[in-house]
Amino acid sequence: METLSHFRTIEELVKMLDREKVLFRDMFERRKSLSYRTDFALEIVDYKRERVQYLIEHGVIHENGDFLEMEDVYVQFFEEVLDMNEEISVASVREHINALKESIGYYLEETNEHRKTQYQGNVRKMLRRIGLRTLKNVIDLKRNVDVAYKQEPNYKIKKTRLENLDEKRKGIKQLIAECEKMMDGEVVFFKMATDPEMQRTTMDVRNDFTEADHNLLEIEHQIIDYINQIELQSQLLKKIRRLKYMKDQLKIIKEEFYPAKLSREPKTRFSVCRKAVSDYKKLKPIIDCSKIQTVLFE
C-alpha cells in the first residue's frame, strides 16, 4: 500500500488549491462522470505530469487506469461550502448528539473548574453544529426532492427516489425530537452550566428546530403531491398507450374490410360482410373512441 504525503500547513493546502483551481473546477463540474480522462487533466496543467502526480501523492485525486477521480473528502468539502451537497447527513447529526451527551456527562463528573469550562464550551459547539447541520439537511432535502421530481425521466425511479427521500425526512424529524427530549431531560446540566452564552445557544438551537419542523411539514406535503402527480401521469400514459393500441387495431380492421378488397362473388361477399358485422359488434368500443384517437395521435 502506497504511503500518501500530507499537507503540513494551511498555507501549503491553500497554495495547492489556488494553483490547481482550474483543474478542480473542471473535475468538480464533472464529478458525476466516471470518465474524466488523465489526458484532460494534463491539458489543463500544460502537460506537466508532475503536477498531477503531486495531487495523487497528496491524496487529492486518485488514478484509475486512464482516468482520474477527485477524492471524496474534497468532493464533500466543495459540496458543503458551495451548498451543492446531494447527500442528507442524518448520521452526522446523530454523531453530534452522541458527542453532546458525552460532553454533558463529562461536565457533570468533572471536579476541576478549568476542565468543566472546556466541556461546557464543547457542549455549546455541539449544540450549534446540531442546529446548523439540521437546517442544512432540510435545505438539501428540499433541493433533492425538487431535483428527483423534475429531472428524473423514469417514473418508477422517480417515485422510488421520492419515497427514499421521505424516509430521510422522517429520520431528520426523529433526530430533532430525540435532541429536544435530551435537552429537556438534562435539567441538572443546564441549571449548573447556565450563562448568557449557553442560554443564547440553547434558544438558537430550539429556534432552528422549530424552523426545520415547519419546513419538513412543507416537504412532506410536497412529496405527497409529487407522488400523486406521478401516479396520475403514469395512469395517463397507460391510457394513451391503450388508445394507441386500439387505433392500430381499428386501422387493421379498416384495411381488412376495405371495399376494394372484398370478393365480387355474392356468396363470398355476403360471408365476409357478415363477419365484418360480427367483428364490428365486438370492437364497437374501439370505433366509438375513434374521435379521441384522432385528437391524440393524428
Q: State pLDDT tens for residues 117-141.
A: 999 999 999 999 899 889 989 998 9
Q: Where are the beta strands (DSSP E) in the chain?
A: 61-64, 67-70
Sequence-distant (≥ 6) Cβ neighbours of residue 124 within 8 angstroms: 197, 198, 201
What phi, psi does 3 have (nearest 5°)?
A: -90, 125
DSSP lists the bridge partners of residue 61 as: 70
Residue 296: pLDDT over 70: no
Instruction: Dump pLDDT digits (tens) for 65-87.
Output: 888 999 888 888 888 788 777 67
Instruction: Dump pLDDT digits (tens) for 161-207.
Output: 999 999 999 999 999 999 999 888 888 888 888 788 888 999 999 99
CATH ID of 10-78, from 1.10.10, 1.10.287, 1.10.3470, 3.90.105? 1.10.10
Residue 153: pLDDT over 90: no
Highest mean pLDDT among 88-102, 120-134, 206-220, 236-250: 206-220
Mean pLDDT score of the chain, rounded to an integer? 81
Which sign does the torsion angle of CA 31, 36, 38, 41 carry? negative
Q: Locate the domains of the chain by residue range.
A: 10-78, 86-222, 239-297
Query: Which residue would you say has higher pLDDT here, 24 or 248?
Result: 24
pLDDT tier, 269 (very low <50, low <70, confident <90, very high otherwise):
very low
Q: What's this model's pTM, rounded to 2 decimal places?
A: 0.65
Three cell numbers at 54?
503531486
Task: Please compute the mean of the pLDDT values over residues 40-58 and round it to a whole number.
Answer: 90
